[in-house]
Amino acid sequence: MLTLERLRLTREDFALDADLAIPQGARVAILGPSGAGKSTLLAAIGGFLSPRSGRILWDGKDITGAEPAARPVATIFQDNNLFPHLTALRNVALGLDPTGRLSATTRDRALAALRDVGLDGFADRKPGALSGGQQSRVTLARAMLQDKPILLLDEPFSALGPAMKAEMIDLVLRVAEERGLTVLMISHDPADALRLGGLSLVVADGVAHPPRPTTELMDDPPPALRDYLAR
Amino acid sequence: MKQPLTLAGIAAGALVVLLILGSVVAVALRAERGAGLGAADWAALRFTLWQAALSAVFSVALAIPVARALARRRFRGRGLLITLLGAPFILPVIVAVLGLIMVFGRAGLLNDGLAALGLPAVSIYGAWGVLLAHVFFNLPLATRMILQGWVDIPAERFRLAAALGMGPAAQFRLIELPMLARVVPGAALVVFLICTTSFAVALTLGGGPRATTIELAIYQAFRFDFDLGRAALLALLQLGVTLAAALVALRVAAPEAMGAGLDRPVQRWGLPGPVVDTLAITLATLFLVLPMVALAARGLPHLANMPPEVWAAAWRSVVVALGSAVLTIALALPLAVAVGRLRPRAARGLEVAGMLGIAASPLVIGTGLFIVSYPFIAPDRLALPVTALVNAVMALPFALRLLVPAVARVESDYGRLAASLGLSGFAWLRLVLLPRITRPLGFATGLAAALSMGDLGVVALFADAEAATLPLQMYRLMGAYRMQDAAAAALLLLALSLAAFWIFDRGGRADADA
Amino acid sequence: MKPHALLALGLMAAPAMAQDRPVLTVYTYDSFVAEWGPGPQIEDAFEAECGCDLQFTAAGDGAELLARIRLEGERSEADVVLGLDTNLTAAAKETGLFTDSGVSDVAWDLPIAWDDPTFVPYDWGYFAFVHDAGFDAPGSFRALAESDTSILIQDPRSSTPGLGLLLWVEAAYGDEAGVIWDGLADNIVTVTKGWSEAYGLFLEGEADMVLSYTTSPAYHLIAEDDDSKEAARFEEGHYLQIEVAGALAASDQPDLAQDFLAFLATDAAQSVLPTTNWMYPAKTPEGGLPEGFETLIQPDEALLIPEAEVPAVRDAALETWRSALSQ
């Protein structure tokens, strides 16, 4: 269980409140208008923003002040997910060993992860020589090796075409299924939320509302979401 | 944790402050009698500020058309020209002055040409001469800084402007002018600071005691009056000017790095005809390259007959330059990291500390180090290490201007990713930071090496017979009437400085991935 | 070995350690120790007879040399200081760091009588304006001031010849020096930091005349076989520069230091100086002056301000100079 306990997040002229819980293994789409604070919420969970007040708990353990790398969280960002000067293999291997050493075991596991996401034979390419979809797969392979129970995705697939994006979400679902991950994914597209299944969390008007089943939410959207969806 | 790098940066800043202020204090404490500052010293301050301000204005005003032309035109040799633009800046003063004289002097190319046309001769001496020389030294630097501003304008803006049918005037007003407003004040202040320590240029071309700068007054206090108290006071005055100007410089958003991507012209649509740009590039090239060609032509015939000691000195200079470059980077890199990570107020303080070297008097630092080290070790044994250290502190401001923005960009692009992966400390340095900043790093290393190579600096104060560097050896040749050998040594110096600059700069580019 | 250790070693200019021989440390100005200067030959000649190791340490020019000795004080490694001149000796004596030379009864070939117990002269010369052969040079400061002849001079605050010119005008004209400087102001093309810059500009054709020495043409004649340079003879007389050496009281080799000072007066040292330092030897060696020196001009009168008066005269003359040239 990921608990956001009376969390208050502030940036210069902006505040967001969250008081909610996400069950372990849930798959949560985060919806809401631009600028509402979706990324701010993920940044706080990922450890990149200290909350003004409140606590973040995982399985009852307070992680509010923990370093990003010490949290039970792997994050896939909107961009800059890969180091352009390192090969796919080395990028993935960083998920296992952040000192950058490439031991035989690390290498084997990284290669296996690449194979798992369908990138057999791409290990020695640098990101510049990979397509957008392939880059997303490399990132996902690394997140798998980080072996964290929570996976945060900050619109990482927004630059991909619809078919490719669907394919990536399915891959995320497969990985999450296999490992029992809790997934939080920001999206602009209700179709993504529906594809992800599970819950949706609406961020609007300075509040992150507790998650509700996505289908239920789409059938009867609250006012903020209704405006956003233009229904 | 990335903490060790931040701590190293703070330590580097402290070392620079200690070195510069410590040497002033050491000199002041050693003072025997003090006359205090007299009217002549205040006149020197006024002249220093006046000539530095004018030099900055002219350098920057002339750099704008040149930078604009370089930004929007492609032509063969553009890359080479941009490298050559670094040359005047790294030339030893005396060499550059002689080069200028060969072109603009009473018997120089310009006056020969004017005489052939039946026109009256122009004189290089006086206020205009000082400005001419300072523009010669600093136009390239200003051009590179402003060119960076142009290159950093996203190509999409010009595409949008073209789509909207904006003419050149509207593009200038709406896109380029705001960039200039951001970049020009910083560039002007850097040039201003460099010119505040001018000494030999101002005196030689200034035409007399009117052109007395603070640095000359310090030299006089030390050499002529042996009034160490006044030398220390003057050094403090000079540092005060720097400090004030550096604070202003950081406030007006000093220009970005001047290393990355300069070889890529800005894609433009609907350009005006090339006449103005061609003229700007041609004139700037002639102005900057002719004196160097004249120097080379003078030295080339005698290169083979130079005394062997000159080659030994050249080797020594190369070692000092490499040592100085390594030291510069060892100071600049942690400083740049710390500046990016500390709170804004502390970061600004640290950056100003790193900038102090730009206007510190080499003579005062040298004397201070001499006084401090003398009780423990024979100063001549320290000549070359001290030269390398002082040169590194002098080059540090330029390295910082290059590395601070570059490091900040890497932190903002990859800081979160690294934090989420637990990449830190030396793994961060080795795996992410260094590979991502090879270009500005190469440029900074080359600049530091070249600056050190050409600097006469403090070695003269410490050197014994066996430790002469190339600039010192060249000066000795001149002092022994051997002007032809000196011209050859100057050519060698020019070649070595450019080579050091070119090798590091290219080395940084070779490996740079998207 | 690690690379940075290698670098550090490379940077350390470790002088060759002499085994068992006593070391005599001589501080001198920079151009003296250059390979083409007098230093190497004098070192060889003295070491051949002293059974010691002579080591030179160089520091800028004469004035910087004195500044360095003042900085180091009694702890200085130096046994002998070589390269001060008659404009600096008063200030040098005032430091109390120098001791008697022990050299006496030498029949010096100097334009003036020499009986200083502290300092030993080793060479000398006259300041003069040098010009190209065939140029109709003025014959006095007054004529120069009235002519449109252009000249290059050095700054007295940063250069030895510059200070020499200041004292030259002072010695020749006294209270009228200011008038002379006013008259010269429009002849001066520029004022350089040191001799090298001015002479370099002169050779580039930047002025008709440059302040240098009467012996300068000898360099071009002897070393370059070029007789195109001459010195202008001024009827006021020419100011004298006598370069001297002295022993430091705190030396740990006082005997050796005195030996060296005495050695400077011998032919072995004196014969080296004319064609390396391009000055007149303080005591003409057995074989006379090198061929070519006979072509140099001989001033009618040697001007020299007594050393004790130099400090006061110098400061007043500098003010006169500065205000005349700052118009």
ipTM score of the complex? Answer: 0.84
Tell me what pLDDT residue C30 has.
83
For residue A163, is it within any domain?
yes
Domains in chain A: how many in total? Answer: 2
Q: In sequence order, which residues have a C-beta less than 8 Å from that of residue C120 and are 6 or more positions away?
A: C101, C103, C244, C245, C246, C261, C262, C264, C265
State the angle between helix axes of C3-11 and B308-341 in degrees (0 to 180), rounded to the nearest 10.
Answer: 130
**C289-319 burial string, b = 16+ CB within 10 Å, else e?**
beebbeebbebeebbbbebeebeebbeebbe
Residues of chain A contacting B414 with CB distance shorter than 8 Å: 80, 83
Q: Which of B257, B274, B299 is the last residue of a domain?
A: B299
Task: Specify the length of chain B in residues.
Answer: 514
Nearest by CB to residue A84, choosing from B423, B430, B514, is: B514
Look at C196 and B475 and tell me if their CB atoms are within 8 Å: yes
Q: Are residues B265 and B355 in the same domain?
A: no
How far from the centroid of its chain's Cα atoms is residue A76's Cα? 5
Most confident of A68-72, B267-271, B429-433, C121-125: C121-125
pLDDT at C2: 36
Between CA B185 and CA B172 the distance in angstroms is 18
Neighbouring chains of A at 3+ CB pairs under 8 Å are B
Tell me the angle at which helices C195-203 and B470-479 cross, rounded to the nearest 10 degrees. Answer: 70
Axis crossing angle, helix B383-421 with helix B308-341, rounded to the nearest 10: 30
What's the rounded Cα separation, in Å, for the pair B409 and A75? Answer: 20
**C238 band by pLDDT with thresholds 50, 70 and 90:** very high
Which residue would you say has higher pLDDT here, B43 or B252? Answer: B43
B236, part of any domain: yes
Within 8 A of A99 by CB-CB distance, chain B residues are 427
Q: CA–CA separation, B433 vs B340, rounded Å?
A: 13
Q: Are residues A173 and A209 in the same domain?
A: yes
The answer to whether C157 touches C269, Cβ cutoff 8 Å, is no
C-alpha span between A131 and B436 (Å, rounded): 21
Q: Is residue A79 part of a domain?
A: no
| B207/C188 CB distance under 8 A | yes
How far CA B79 is from CA of B86, B155, B348, B506, in Å, comes to: 12, 20, 34, 11
Conformational region of residue C172, where left means phi above 0, alpha means psi within -120 to 50, and beta covers everything else: alpha
Counted domains in chain B = 2
Residue B216 to chain C, least CA–CA distance (Å):
8
Q: Domain holding B331: CATH number?
A: 1.10.3720.10
Longest dimension (CA), chain C: 69
- The H or E element containing residue A152 is strand A150-154
Whose CA is closest to B460, among B345, B380, B391?
A: B380
Instruction: Decide: C and B in contact? Rule: 3+ Cβ pairs under 8 Å.
Output: yes
Residue C280's pLDDT is 95
pLDDT at C275: 92
C115 to chain B, minimum CA–CA distance in Å?
A: 26
Q: Is residue B94 part of a domain?
A: yes
User: Tokens 């293994």 correspond to what residue?
Assistant: A25
* C21-124+241-293 and C125-240+298-325, same CATH topology: yes
Neighbours of B190 (CB within 10 A): 28
The one-letter amino acid code at B158 reads: F
Domain stops at, among B284, B299, B314: B299
Name the residue among C169, C130, C162 with its Cα closest to residue C305.
Answer: C169
- Judging contacts by C-beta atoms under 8 Å, the chain B residues touching residue C199 are 478, 481, 483
Of A48, A84, A99, the CB nearest to B513: A84
Distance CA B235, CA B229 (A): 10
Instruction: Tell me the residue range of the domain where A111 lies.
Output: 84-147
Using a CB-CB cut-off of 8 Å, the residues of chain C touching B468 are 34
Query: Considering the entire predicted model, what is its pTM?
Result: 0.82
Nearest to B209 among C35, C191, C223 (CB): C191
Give the residue from A117, A147, A177 where a domain finishes.
Answer: A147
Size of interface A-B (CB pairs under 8 A): 62
Return the DSSP state at B464: B
Q: Are B130 and B208 in contact (CB under 8 A)?
A: no
| Chain C residues near residue B224 by CB distance under 8 angstroms | 63, 156-158, 163
Q: Which CATH number fits domain C21-124+241-293: 3.40.640.10, 3.30.360.10, 3.40.190.10, 3.40.50.2300?
A: 3.40.190.10
Number of CB pairs < 8 Å for B and C? 189
Mean pLDDT of B157-177: 80
Q: Is residue A77 part of a domain?
A: no
3-state secondary structure chain C: CCHHHHHHHHHCCCCCCCCCCCEEEEEECHHHHCCCCCHHHHHHHHHHHHCCEEEEEECCCHHHHHHHHHHHHHHCCCCEEEEEECCCHHHHHHCCCEECCCCCCCCCCCCCCCCCCCCEEEEEEEEEEEEECCCCCCCCHHHHHHCCCCEEEECCCCCHHHHHHHHHHHHHHHHHHHHHHHHHHHHEEEEECCHHHHHHHHHCCCCCEEEEECCHHHHHHHHHCCCCEEEECCCCCEEEEEEEEEEECCCCCHHHHHHHHHHHCCHHHHCCCCCCCCCEECCCCCCCCCCCHHHCCCCCCEECCCHHHHHHHHHHHHHHHHHHHCC
Residue C131 β-bridge partners:
C209, C230
Token couple for A203: 């961020």
pLDDT of B271 reads 67
- In sequence order, what are the residues at sequence separation of 6 or more whose Cβ sits closer than 8 angstroms to the Cβ of residue B175? B153, B157, B158, B161
**Does residue A92 contact residue A142 with C-beta atoms inside 8 Å?**
yes
Q: Which C residues, 147 through 176, put their C-beta within 8 Å of a C-beta on chain B?
A: 150, 155-158, 163
Chain B residue numbers touching A85 (CB-CB < 8 A): 435-436, 513
pLDDT, position B155 = 75
Residues 6 or more apart in contact with residue A178 via CB below 8 angstroms: none
Domain ends where: A147, A181, A196? A147
Does B417 contact A77 at a Cβ distance shorter than 8 Å? yes
The pLDDT value given to residue C60? 79
How confident is the model over B407-436, as a mean pLDDT? 87
Tens digit of pLDDT for each residue in A140-199? 999 999 889 999 999 888 888 888 888 999 999 999 999 999 999 998 888 888 898 889
Q: Cβ separation of B381 and C58 shorter than 8 Å?
A: no
Query: Is residue A30 located within the same domain as residue A54?
Result: yes
Q: List, in order, residues 6 or more apart from A111 with CB less than 8 Å away.
A: A89, A123
| Residue of B423, B436, B514 lying closest to A94 (CB–CB) | B423
Q: How far does CA C49 lie from the centroid of its chain?
A: 27
Say whether both A225 and A195 belong to one domain: yes
Q: Is A30 in the same domain as A140?
A: no
Q: Which residues contact B5 (CB under 8 A, 6 or more apart)?
A: B334, B337, B338, B425, B428, B429
Window 33-72 of C, Cβ < 8 Å to B: 33-37, 39, 55-60, 63-64, 66-68, 70-72
Nearest residue in chain B measured CA to CA from C31: B476
Residue C63 pLDDT level (bands cut at 50, 70, 90): confident
What sign for the dihedral angle of Cα B210, B211, B213, B215? negative
Is B207 in Cβ contact with C190 (below 8 Å)?
yes
Q: CA–CA distance from B143 to each of B52, B71, B135, B405, C27 (Å)?
A: 17, 10, 11, 18, 46
Quote the radius of gyration of chain A (alpha carbons, Å): 18
Same domain, B129 and B227: yes
Q: Is position B35 within any domain?
A: no
Beta-strand pair C209-213/C120-132: antiparallel
* Strand pairing report for A182-186 and C238-248: unpaired
Nearest-Cα residue of chain B relative to residue A98:
B423
| Lowest-pLDDT choice from B382-391, B407-416, C106-115, C284-293 | B382-391
pLDDT digits (tens, 9 = 90+) for B467-479: 778 888 888 888 8
B-chain residues near A65 (CB < 8 A): none
Contact B465 C200 (CB under 8 A): no
A171 and A191 fall within a common domain:
yes
Q: Looking at residue C295, what is its pLDDT?
A: 93
Q: What is the pLDDT of residue B363?
A: 78
Report yes or no on chains A and C touching (3+ CB pairs under 8 A): no
Domain identity same for A159 and A224: yes
Quote the radius of gyration of chain C (alpha carbons, Å).
Answer: 21
Residue from the list A86, A98, A146 with its beta carbon closest to the beta carbon of B427 = A98
**Assigned domain for A78 exists:** no
> Half-sphere exposure of B382 toward its Cβ, with a 13 Å CA cutoff?
19
- Which residues in chain B touch residue A128, judged by CB atoms under 8 angstroms apart? 513-514
Residue A64: partners with Cβ closer than 8 Å, 6 or more residues away? A50, A51, A54, A55, A56, A57
Question: What's the confidence (pLDDT) of residue B236?
Answer: 86
Q: Residue B420, Cα to own-chain centre: how many angstroms?
A: 39
State whether A77 and B416 contact (CB < 8 Å): yes
Mutate to test the interface with B, among A67, A87, A94 (most CBs of B within 10 A): A94
Whether C270 shows a pLDDT value over 90: the answer reads yes
pLDDT at A63: 93
Which residue ranges make up each domain of chain C? 21-124+241-293, 125-240+298-325
Q: At what angle do helices B362-373 and B383-421 cross, to 10 degrees?
A: 100
Helices (H), A94-161: 104-116, 132-146
The pLDDT assigned to B458 comes to 64
**What is the spatial distance between Cα C228 and Cα C131, in angstroms, rounded to a whole number?**
8
Query: Of the candidates C7, C157, C190, which has its C-beta nearest B323's C-beta?
Result: C7
Q: Which of B391, B466, B470, B473 to mutate to test the interface with C (most CBs of C within 10 A)?
A: B466
Task: Give the residue from chain B lying closest to C275, CA to CA.
Answer: B480
pLDDT band at B200 (very low <50, low <70, confident <90, very high): confident
The nearest CA of chain A is from the CA of B425 a distance in Å of 9
Q: What is the mean pLDDT of residues B499-511?
A: 76
- Poorest-confidence range of A168-172, B115-119, C256-260? B115-119
Q: Is A49 helix (H, G, I), strand (E, B) or coil?
A: coil
Mean pLDDT value of segment B221-243: 84
Q: Which token pair is B332? A: 């600049």
**Residues in A touching B421 (Cβ below 8 Å):** 69, 94-95, 98, 142, 146
**Per-residue confidence (pLDDT) for residue C245, from 0 to 100:** 96
Residues A157 and A59 in one domain: yes
Residue A176 and residue A129 in one domain:
no
AA identity, residue C281: P
The chain-wide mean pLDDT, for chain B, equals 82
Inter-chain CB proximity B419 and A67 less than 8 Å: yes
At a CB cut-off of 8 Å and minimum separation 6, what does C110 contact?
A: C121, C124, C242, C282
> Which of the residue ranges A89-93, B136-140, B193-197, C192-196 would you say has the lowest mean pLDDT?
B193-197
Confidence band for C301, pLDDT divided at 50, 70 and 90: very high
Q: Do B105 and C70 touch (CB under 8 A)?
A: no
Number of H helices and E strands in chain A, helices first, is: 8, 11
Q: Which of B393, B364, B332, B371 is nearest to B238 (CA)?
A: B364
Is the Cβ of C322 closer than 8 Å to some Cβ of chain B? yes
The pLDDT confidence band at residue A54, using thresholds 50, 70 and 90, is: very high
- Which residues form the domain of B509? 1-30+306-514
pLDDT digits (tens, 9 = 90+) for A83-133: 888 899 999 999 888 888 889 999 999 999 999 999 999 999 998 899 988
Integer-rounded Cα radius of gyration of chain B = 23
Give the C-alpha separation, A2 to A77, whole Å.
20
- Measured CB to CB, residues of chain A less than 8 Å from chain B are 46-48, 67-70, 73-75, 77, 80-81, 83-86, 94-95, 98-100, 126, 128, 142, 146
Cα–Cα distance measured from residue B145 to residue B44, given in angstroms and rounded to the nearest whole number:
29
Q: Is residue B37 part of a domain?
A: no
Q: What is the CATH number of domain C125-240+298-325?
A: 3.40.190.10
The answer as to whether B36 is a domain residue is: no
Residues B277 and B396 in one domain: no
